[in-house]
Amino acid sequence: MSVIADIKLLNWLIDKLLAYSDKHKVRVNEAIASIHTAWSHTYDYLRNQEGEYIPNQELSDFWNHAAQATRLIDQDLANQLQDKARFWIHPDLARQNRILLLTEIQDEVERLNLKF
């Protein structure tokens, strides 16, 4: 009887781990998608503004969403994305933390892709 109970427990644990793995993949996918959206809109904006940094609430919202989607996966990256969101509210303010460049964000997305 004990062996059957152990097998049932093991089966239950495996099911839980698989469900956790699937949820984690969904979260990583959502984070990558939201970062890519923010990145694309920022790139397009800068290309059309000839690289001029002008406050932009919409870009800030995109980066806030990316930070929120990333928070449960990578706290450090989420904090950096939050800094990026603050940057777009007031681009001219002096910063304590360095703001990630778009090329560095692409590197972070590649790192997140490895979590699949």
1: pLDDT strictly greater than 60: no
Structure tokens at 59: 């870009």
Whats the size of the chain, residue-wise?
Answer: 116
Which residues 6+ apart lie within 8 Å of 87 measured at CB?
Answer: 60, 63, 95, 99
d(CA 31, CA 69): 5
Confidence grade of residue 55 (pLDDT, cut at 50, 70, 90) = very high
71: pLDDT strictly greater than 90: yes
User: What pLDDT was estimated at residue 116?
Assistant: 66
pLDDT in tens, 8-43: 777 776 776 666 688 888 898 899 999 999 999 999
Is the pLDDT higher at 77 or at 12? 77
Structure tokens at 69: 């989607």
